[in-house]
A and B are shown apart, each in its own frame.
Chain A
Amino acid sequence: EADIYQTPRYLVIGTGKKITLECSQTMGHDKMYWYQQDPGMELHLIHYSYGVNSTEKGDLSSESTVSRIRTEHFPLTLESARPSHTSQYLCASSAQGARDYEQYFGPGTRLTVT
């Protein structure tokens, strides 16, 4: 089982609130990722990081921002939540140069914005 953690697991919050979704991994992986997944749909990459102080936007445009100050920590922030942000957010990590870039996923955060 992968050592990658996400908190909170579930979050219901009102429109306009600022939220931070936490993601941490204890495997020492350099690469980390954030995906967004709606029910019955594929995962979409919204942010990724090659290592400390590296952050990049993914394929799906997102109003969220990320930071990577420590190797093990990759939080995602929404400055002003909206109902359109309701979704499941999955964090993943992989080792630099790992065979075939195996990605390990966290359990996800189910976000509901009312």
Chain B
Amino acid sequence: KNQVEQSPQSLIILEGKNCTLQCNYTVSPFSNLRWYKQDTGRGPVSLTIMTFSENTKSNGRYTATLDADTKQSSLHITASQLSDSASYICVVSDRGSTLGRLYFGRGTQLTVWP
């Protein structure tokens, strides 16, 4: 069964600190993995997308890593800001369909305190 598991479920950090979010998946055949940021009451916004051959991708203070062998990914946030408070969702796409079906994790709810 294709699944995406994220940890931790929630996380509280102080402004300026770093943090790392984890994602494990069982989706096969694998096409790509994305990290989305979803602010409360808003739609998800893409942060990074990585294919099988990419093992790291950065977007400003966000750095995603991918280990396709162990089927694990992480999202590292550097020097956190209050605006980073959001849900971070790991999404994996399979390449077994023309639709490009997406499998969503439940997200990690990050809260950044001043």
| A residues in contact (CB < 8 Å) with B | 2, 4, 6, 31, 40-45, 48, 50, 90-92, 94, 100-108, 110
Cβ–Cβ contact B46 & A42, under 8 A: no
Interface-facing stretch out of B15-23, B37-45, B58-66: B37-45
- Contact pick for A43, options B42, B93, B104, CB 8 Å: B104
Cβ–Cβ contact B43 & A94, under 8 A: no
Query: How many Å from the CB of B27 to the closest CB on chain A?
Result: 13
Cβ–Cβ contact A100 & B42, under 8 A: no
Query: How many Å from the CB of B21 to the closest CB on chain A?
Result: 15
Cβ–Cβ contact A45 & B102, under 8 A: yes
Cβ–Cβ contact B104 & A42, under 8 A: yes
Cβ–Cβ contact A90 & B43, under 8 A: yes
Cβ–Cβ contact A100 & B102, under 8 A: no
CB of B26 within 8 Å of the partner chain: no
Bound CA–CA A105/B107 (angstroms): 16
CB-based closest 8 A-B pairs: A101-B100, A105-B43, A42-B104, A43-B104, A100-B32, A42-B106, A105-B44, A107-B43
Bound CA–CA A90/B101 (angstroms): 16
B41: A residues at CB distance < 8 A: 107-108, 110
Q: A94-B100, A100-B100 are in contact. Are A40 and B42 (CB under 8 A)?
A: no
